[in-house]
Amino acid sequence: MATASVAFKSREDHRKQLELEEARKAGLAPAEVDEDGKEINPHIPQYMSSAPWYLNAERPSLKHQRKWKSDPNYTKSWYDRGAKIFQAEKYRKGACENCGAMTHDAKSCMERPRKKGAKWTNMHIAPDEKIETFELDYDGKRDRWNGYDASTYARVIERYEARDEARRKYLKEQQLKKLEEKNSKNEGEVEGEGEEGEISDEEDDDDALKVDEAKVDESKQMDFAKVEKRVRTTGGGSTGTVRNLRIREDTAKYLLNLDVNSAYYDPKTRSMREDPLPDADPNEKFYEGDNQYRMSGQALEFKQLNIHAWEAFDKGQDIHMQAAPSQAELLYKNYKVIKEKLKSKTKDTIMEKYGNAATEEEIPVELLLGQSERQVEYDRAGRIIKGMETSLPKSKYEEDVFINNHTSVWGSWWKDHQWGYKCCKQTIRNSYCTGAAGIEAAEAATDLMKSNIARKASSEDAPAPAQERKHVTWGTDVPEDLVLDEKLLTEALKKEEERRREEKDERKRKYNVRWNDEVTAEEMEAYRMKRVHHDDPMKDFLN
């Protein structure tokens, strides 16, 4: 299967090979094994399992599909930038004529061209660089971040922080200039104030500066949170504004925890059901997963309200959550009140009937010691004569309830694999009790049935005496004990002949046919005698 040795196969060998492959796919034959002892999947297509001809594969193998090059560890190893391996003190033969390093020549030297190179001055010899070579694979050659040092990003942060600090400093200077101008204008108006006034002026300036700084910070925050508008132009030429209501400083759900094993985020529905930060402080978390929102607060109440509306509609009430939400909410509130009342009523009924063991009420002594007013008689030996009859425990079903005038319950009598009533021995559940008369009638009916069965069996065993048949005519099926009147039979035969002649003559056929349901035995015999038997070979000789 997994070889490319193209050898000639006869038709029979090719057919056997196909049958073997089908058996392997069906699991009836063991899978093919490669040179390493591993099983080859029989469902691999032939264009993948067949090795190229130039590999000269004589045995089944899938090595041509596996990665045969060793993977370089390119993610951990990279060029050691700026590393030096040796510092020479004098110029060496074959070194760079400009800087004196042995790792490159003068043409590829990266230092500033000297007026006189190190070859002639033999001074300021540059150290030798560390030369490395890597054999990168396809992904390693195209990895744009390979060798990137993340610590260098600290310089970018420092640069932006310095810019923000300069901006704050500039804003503070502008505010101070405005305050100085304002104070210079007020100096001409205010005269002759002492030291206390000077102190108060300085305090006022500081307070004003703080207020102005607070206003600046507040204005900056408002810039972040303000709602932006952007103009939308459609193909038809109409324009409109679209409000962008999402604050851009909000962190997306999938950025809260970048761990692969964290809560699953569904990008299609933009939902994250579980908590992405389960170990964090709950007081500091502002998002705990979609399930937390669905199962807490008013969301759970709204869900229960919907379920109540659906169940009420299924039971026949005219209620709809979307069509009449106020009505549905009012009915739900009434339902909860009625439910609580019913629950408390049921609890009170049970407590009244069985008592409450959790209360502090003392149990009566007669109940505590098992005392009662029932009279029990004992003999001299201490045996109970009467008064302590054992009471049978009752079940949850109704007992000793007699219906339809019965004096016993259903199932008190059993006979011939049937249950019945013992009082009348009837096996019908809803029958009326007939008492002793019903039992006698049932026994008499049983005896009569037995005698009839015995008489029938004896009559079948004895051969019946041959009796002479009366009025035996060809084509008749007259019973043995039937007696016919000759005169009436003759008249019936004449009528049957006239009727048959009318049927043959279409001119005498009548439109309205009257049926006579009262047929005599003679008319029936005449019909049988005149009837044509199509399966009789002598029917053509009757007339």
Q: Encode 344-406 in three state secondary structure.
A: HHHHHHHHHHHCCCCCCCCCCHHHHCCCCCCCCEECCCCCEEECCCCCCCCCCCCCCCCCCCC
pLDDT tier for residue 223 given thresholds of 50, 70 and 90: very low
Q: Which residues pair with 228 in a beta bridge?
A: 244
The pLDDT of residue 3 is 54
Average pLDDT on 413-424 reads: 88
- Rounded CA-CA distance 477/489 in Å is 15
- Rounded CA-CA distance 219/441 in Å is 111
- Reading the block at residue 113, the tokens are 């061209």
Average pLDDT on 395-418 reads: 84
Helix (H) or strand (E) run with residue 438 in it: helix 435-461
pLDDT tier for residue 345 given thresholds of 50, 70 and 90: very high
The pLDDT of residue 143 is 84
Helix (H) or strand (E) run with residue 240 in it: strand 239-244
Please report the sign of the dihedral spanned by the C-alpha atoms of residue 316, residue 322, residue 325, residue 329.
positive
Q: Which of 44, 13, 43 has its CA nearest to residue 26?
A: 43
Please report the sign of the dihedral spanned by the C-alpha atoms of residue 447, residue 452, residue 457, residue 458.
positive
pLDDT tier for residue 19 given thresholds of 50, 70 and 90: very high
Average pLDDT, the chain: 79
Q: Lowest-confidence range among 60-74, 246-260, 512-526? A: 60-74
> Which residue type does 351 have?
M
* Residue of 70 and 287 predicted with greater confidence: 287
* Residue of 335 and 1 predicted with greater confidence: 335
How many contiguous H segments (helices) and E segments (strands) does the chain have? 13, 8
- Rounded CA-CA distance 97/106 in Å is 6
- Quick check: 239 pLDDT over 70? no
User: What is the SS3 string spanning 177-194?
Assistant: HHHHHHHHHHHCCCCCCC
The pLDDT of residue 466 is 45
The pLDDT of residue 184 is 87
- Quick check: 479 pLDDT over 70? no
* Residue of 127 and 61 predicted with greater confidence: 127
Average pLDDT on 500-512 reads: 72
- Quick check: 90 pLDDT over 80? yes
Percentage of the chain surpassing pLDDT 70? 75
The pLDDT of residue 468 is 46
- Rounded CA-CA distance 183/205 in Å is 9
